[in-house]
Amino acid sequence: MSSAEMQLVALREYPQIASGDDLAAFAVDALRRGGLQLRADDVLVFAQKVVSKAEGRQVELATVTPGEKALELAHTVQKDPRLVELILRESRRVVRAAPDVLIVEHRLGWIMANAGIDQSNVAGPDSDCALLLPEDPDTSAMRLRERLAELTGCECAVIISDSFGRPWRVGTVGVAIGCAGLPATIDLRGQSDLFGRPLRVTIVGHADEIASAASILMGQASEARPVVLVRGLPARAPHRPATALLRPSGEDLFR
Amino acid sequence: MSSAEMQLVALREYPQIASGDDLAAFAVDALRRGGLQLRADDVLVFAQKVVSKAEGRQVELATVTPGEKALELAHTVQKDPRLVELILRESRRVVRAAPDVLIVEHRLGWIMANAGIDQSNVAGPDSDCALLLPEDPDTSAMRLRERLAELTGCECAVIISDSFGRPWRVGTVGVAIGCAGLPATIDLRGQSDLFGRPLRVTIVGHADEIASAASILMGQASEARPVVLVRGLPARAPHRPATALLRPSGEDLFR
């Protein structure tokens, strides 16, 4: 019997993050201030942005020299050529390019806008800094989980979330790009419905649904809260990394 | 200041639904049994399946005669030609067809597998019944909302959810196909980040994120719980129907 109740709490007063900061320790402090104690069946969702900052993934645009391909593409998409250069360096290939739109296959396989590189909430409005995705978000999630266990004795699960746009639908939604201690996808193949018929839906994007739920509380603007505790999730096993959410290109009809 | 805490409760003992049933009254009863009282800032998420059943959207496959196009397409996708006929009747056009895959543009505009027609959880394993989407889910959501207000005096919001597969990513996630009393999308254009820079993410798929959160508790298999209460959402205004989540085809690079 899986859970019938779930609670989400955005951690308050989570500080601004700089390179090298201990995100797990900050989270434990913020939980404590909120009167909360981490449990083994909790999930902590960290916004990609704070993980990237802690990992020192900021790049000053002034240090980037755009190559020929970036210059050309920047013209098409009407973006800063230095930013486009960074996007290309983080990508395997360009999937779609149009004015204001640059969708790529990120080096880790995610199909996403701008290789996840962001300039908002990075530094002051006059700064020309870009923030890359974490080097390897599944590993980042695993490290955060280990550090949380060190600090609290609790092996909770960790998700690193980002906001992705989607074909066909308007609006971004939270998705998981890193995952530790829970299955990013849940495989229901072989299970039956209420009447004994095999289920139509066979694989569920579990970590993405959790990331979307957390995203509701995170917000996007100045009140942003980058860490959300999720409590009461249905039992989870086995661990499956966020890369399980990558649809193999051979099975994908929309590349 | 938006909310920092959110609670989701799947209603227990929600009954099996038949055509003509009063879904709102059942929900109010189930809430009462759970010791819960509806509040004006609550959202009730109803799985599409119960809404379709209550609206009598079941079709006996024995009553369906597949046309020529359905017979041909059924061969390609290896599905029952009568089911394919129903899918075509509910669709504007076929987007992709391959063995086991039939993605269409539903008559309401949703790009989705099988026009949302489902055979699981519909009736016994020997029955050949298919269940179509509600005739107009935004209107269904509005009616549910009105009926809930009649019963409780509370103008809560209502979402009708379904599970959609996605290009590029493995696994289905909950999405909103009907919506009343809250904005299906939240437009952040004009807002700034923590440092005064315009936000990168400008439109959020708000109702989809809520549907995904609810989907975690709904489950897919025999323990399915089709109605989920969401409490503590950030303030919502104005109302925007689920059709706001439809990306205009002229702006879509992936049709």
Closest CA to A205 of B209, B172, B207: B172
Q: What is the pLDDT of residues B121-132, one digit of tens each?
A: 666 555 688 999
Q: How far away is chain B from the Cα of A68, in angstroms, using its nearest Cα?
A: 25
Q: How many Å apart are CA A253 and CA B168, to the nearest integer?
A: 9
Per-residue tokens: B58:
């079941």
| 8 Å CB contact of B197 and A252 | no
Question: Between residues 68 and 87 of chain A, which touch chain B (CB distance below 8 Å)?
Answer: none
Residues A146 and A169 in one domain: yes
Residues A150 and A184 in one domain: yes
Q: How many Å apart are CA B134 and CA B52, to the nearest integer?
A: 5
Q: Identify which of A5, A124, A188 has the shortest CB distance to residue B195.
A: A124
Residue B239 has pLDDT above 80, yes or no: yes
3-state secondary structure of A169: strand
Q: Is B17 on the interface with A (CB under 8 A)?
A: no
Q: Which residue of B has its CA nearest to A224?
A: B194
Q: Identify which of A4, A7, A245 has the shortest CB distance to residue B170.
A: A245
Q: How confident is the model at residue A162 (pLDDT cuts 50, 70, 90)?
A: very high
Q: Average pLDDT in the A217-242 region? A: 84
Is residue B1 in a domain? Answer: no
Q: What is the pLDDT of residues A33-77, one digit of tens each?
A: 999 999 999 999 999 999 999 999 999 999 999 999 999 999 999
**Termini Cα distance of chain B:** 39
Residue B111 has pLDDT above 50, yes or no: yes
DSSP letters spanning A68-131 = HHHHHHHHHHTS-HHHHHHHHHTEEEEEEEETTEEEEEETTS-EEEGGG-B-TTSS-TT--EEE
Q: How many Å apart are CA B14 and CA B54, to the nearest integer?
A: 13
| C-alpha separations of A142 from A26, A148, A157, A214, B241 in Å | 17, 10, 9, 19, 39
Question: Between residues 159 and 198 of chain A, which touch chain B (CB distance below 8 Å)?
Answer: 163, 166-175, 185-186, 188, 191-198
Q: Which residue of B has its CA nearest to A111?
A: B168
Residues B146 and B46 in one domain: yes
Q: Is A235 on the interface with B (CB under 8 A)?
A: no
Instruction: Give the pLDDT score at B3.
Output: 55
Residues B33 and B148 in one domain: yes
CB distance A115 to A91 below 8 Å = yes
Residue B101 has pLDDT above 70, yes or no: yes
At A40, which CATH number? Answer: 3.30.1330.100
Set of chain A residues whose Cβ sits within 8 Å of the Cβ of B223: 1-2
Q: Which range of residues forms the domain containing residue B11?
A: 7-56+133-247
Set of chain A residues whose Cβ sits within 8 Å of the Cβ of B245: 169-171
Contacts of A240 (CB under 8 A, 6+ apart): A179, A182, A183, A184, A185
| 8 Å CB contact of A171 and B10 | no
Q: Which residues pair with A59 in a beta bridge?
A: A130
| 8 Å CB contact of B121 and A172 | no
Is residue B252 in a domain? Answer: no
Report the amino acid identity of residue B176. A
Instruction: Give the pLDDT score at A105.
Output: 95
Q: Please count the structural domains in chain A.
A: 2
Residues A140 and A204 in one domain: yes
Q: What is the mean pLDDT of chain A?
A: 90
Per-residue tokens: B252:
């879509």
Complex ipTM more than 0.85, yes or no: yes
Is residue A1 in a domain? Answer: no
Residues B126 and B143 in one domain: no
